[in-house]
Amino acid sequence: MNRTVAVLLAMLLGLASPAMAMDGVIEQLRLQVPAAHRTLWLQAEARTWQPWLEQQAGFENRSLYWDPAREEGVLLIRWASRSQWKAIPEEEVNRVQGLFEAEVNQALKRPANSAPLFPLLAEGELEQQELPSQS
């Protein structure tokens, strides 16, 4: 089991407490991703968000998951600290989101002002936890 899954499982089972939080934080996003456009979603992410994220102070990595039953994408973006993540101006995030949407619209030959194909369903943050030692 990878570390991210273990941390999430520990949180869900109530085994980790806020007192055990570390500096890192994970930004969690859930998007509607229709099965017919899953590949397009991944391509647009790779061309827009990934290069931009790699230039941001505090960005460590991200993992993308797809739930075929719900047709949803889940993005877990790891930041070195919450303050570095939150220091990014909202205008800059909106600009990159515009590039992402333009990439999608161009690929599908949709008008530029089309409603987002991959709407944001939920967003949140997860604090990294360490299990207590069993000594």
pLDDT at 73 over 80: yes
How buried is residue 118: exposed, middle or buried, by Cβ count under 10 Å (0-12/13-18/19+)?
buried
What is the DSSP annotation of 41-63?
HHHHIIIIIHHHHHTSTTEEEEE
Question: 23 vs 122, which has greater pLDDT?
Answer: 122
pTM of the model: 0.79
> What fold is seen in the domain 23-129?
Alpha-Beta Plaits (3.30.70)
pLDDT at 4 over 90: no
pLDDT, average across residues 59-76: 98
Could you tell me the residue ranges of all domains in the chain? 23-129
DSSP at 16: -
User: Mean pLDDT in the chain?
Assistant: 87
The proportion of the chain whose per-residue pLDDT surpasses 90, expressed as a percent, equals 75
User: Cα separation of 123 and 94, whole Å?
Assistant: 15
